[in-house]
Structure 1
Amino acid sequence: MLAKSFALAALASAAFASPLVVPVSGGDTPPADQVTISGITTSGTGCPQGSVGQFLSADRETFTLIFDSYQAQIGPGTVPTDARKFCQINLNLHYPQGFQYSIMKTIFRGYASLQKGVSGTQQATYYFSGESAQCSTKSTFTGPVTKDYTVEDDLTVASTVWSPCGADLPHQYQVPDHA
């Protein structure tokens, strides 16, 4: 079969929510028991309802999402909307007054199967609900390639989007993929 395809996001893994919480005016970080992930919601064509497994670490500092339906593909037997998938991930984190947080590192694991001349892209955009500041990363895969992959988004403090002071706004990620 000459299907040209790009499959992505079998797993968006652990450090996907390794939030760094820092005081607004410098100093110590808050006690771990005062920083909690209270909820994770997902929606989009790459993560329809009931298709994402969620696992929160015992210390509630990191989480893992496993996507059962996140696959972008082109080729015979596909429709145009199969070429692009996205998932909106909302992280609700509670932390004490006087602190801000941001995501510093994300690890994506998946599988890419691309024929010669075909490319696929994975992109992540990080932002807070109602805020205009964003940070984006992008990885491109070019065929021929058939392999498992790991992509690490290491976000620097300067380029990272920080939570507003004194507000528990959801931290959002939009992860589009296309072949």
Structure 2
Amino acid sequence: MARPVNGVAAMAALLLVAVVCVAVPARAQPPLVTIDSVTFTGSGCNWGNTNYVLSNDYKILTVLFGGMIATTDSGLAGKRKNCQISLGLKYPNGFSLTLGKVTGRGFADVGYSSTGTYQTSYYISGQTGTSYATRTIQGQFTGNYEFTDELSRLIWSNCNNAPNLNINSEVRVNGKKAVMTLDSSDQKFELSFSIDWLAC
């Protein structure tokens, strides 16, 4: 005589099968990533005042800007500073990447009826589309700030093609009195990008 199947045991077996089915990760990361080339252009950066760091796990790219200071006190040209960075990446075939989030840290001194804004965007050479994140601080505000944002869209690099990653950042001010964005601790405007990897 056949024994009845225990409902709990059957559910546990189904759950185990489901777990095994999803246990193979769709996302992975390359064993080694290097930045082979870097170029800087723009009024807010140069080789002497801009640094970049790729974390040891290749998941965070941090850029420190020493010249990204926009102020209403320095004429029309001083109200907007920008920097275009192109990073030549190198990693093994079988992977694709995108930038998922960005965290901006800095200092702002924004008076009444004035604003301070930073915007960052990225695109991948040879592919269409640009992704943005923008933050505006309304006056009156004085102090350090930190914002984390999802970038507006995910743009994945082509598989088996390590790309040039192009990041354009700017700070701008409007109104009678505003300064963006000199950090009080290290005199740097900092952007940290999360890098998402996909095995392909």
Interval containing the TM-score (normalised by the shorter chain): 0.7 to 0.9
Q: 1:31 to 1:146 in 2, by over 3 A?
A: closer
Deviation at 1:27, TM superposition (A): 5.3
Is the partner of 1:138 in helix, strand or coil?
strand
Higher radius of gyration, 1 or 2: 2
Q: 1:99 to 1:112 in 2, by over 3 A?
A: same
Q: Structure 1, residues 129-166: CA drift from partner, whole Å, max 9, x if none?
A: 2332111111111111101001212237xx21111233
Q: Which residue of 2 aligns with 1:64?
A: 62
| Percentage of identical aligned residues | 30
Is there any run of 5+ residues in structure 2 with no aligned partner, and where?
Answer: 1-23, 174-200
User: For the residues of structure 1 that align with 2:34 and 2:169, how far apart are their CA atoms?
Assistant: 23
Is there any run of 5+ residues in structure 1 with no aligned partner, and where?
Answer: 1-25
Deviation at 1:107, TM superposition (A): 1.2
Tell me whether 40-49 or 106-115 shows the greater mean CA deviation.
Answer: 40-49
Greater share of helix residues, 1 or 2? 2
Q: Which residue of 2 aligns with 1:164?
A: 158
Select the residue among 145, 169, 174 that pairs with 2:168: 174
1:108 aligns with 2:116: no
Q: Which residue of 1 aligns with 2:150?
A: 154
1:47 aligns with 2:41: no
Is the partner of 1:140 in helix, strand or coil?
strand
User: For the residues of structure 2 that align with 1:127 and 1:110, how far apart are their CA atoms?
Assistant: 23
Is the partner of 2:104 in helix, strand or coil?
strand
Instruction: Figure out how many residues of one structure are paired with residues of the other and give that number.
Output: 150
User: For the residues of structure 2 that align with 1:29 and 1:111, how far apart are their CA atoms?
Assistant: 36
User: For the residues of structure 1 that align with 2:81 and 2:148, how far apart are their CA atoms?
Assistant: 20
1:141 aligns with 2:137: yes
RMSD: 2.3
1:47 counterpart letter in structure 2: C
TM-score with structure 1 setting the length: 0.73
What does 1:91-106 correspond to in 2, within 5 Å?
Answer: 91-106=87-102
